[in-house]
Amino acid sequence: MELNPWRLVFKSGWDKHFKKFDNETKKRILNKFEQMKQPLQGRGMHSSKYQVEETGQYRIAFIEYKEEGIKDIHFVGNRKQYEKWYKDY
């Protein structure tokens, strides 16, 4: 059984907060994106279609489409921004 890497697809508006982060934070998040391409399962959010990855105090919310091998990135932000986004989605 061969495990194929995930393909990341970025939904419109995913970078609303990301583009305001300092370069070091952006670099950490970009490194996390590379890790997310590995054939590993993400962590689910409480009875939601979204899953979340963490890097320090930052969160990446996405939806996995296993058959297509795609992770749709919907949100990147710090913990407080994530909590607000999660409440509003």
What CATH number corresponds to the domain at position 11?
3.30.2310.20
* 4-19 per-position pLDDT tens digit: 889 999 999 999 999 9
Task: Domain count for the chain, please give it.
Answer: 1
- Show the domain range for 39: 7-88
* 21-57 per-position pLDDT tens digit: 999 999 999 999 999 998 766 666 666 788 999 999 9
* Higher per-residue confidence, 45 vs 86: 86
DSSP secondary structure, the chain, as one string: -PPPPPEEEE-TTTTTTGGGS-HHHHHHHHHHHHHHTSS---EEPTTSS-EEEEETTEEEEEEEETTTTEEEEEEEEEHHHHHHHHHH-
pLDDT, residue 88, reads 80
Whether 1 is in a domain gets the answer no
pLDDT, residue 48, reads 76
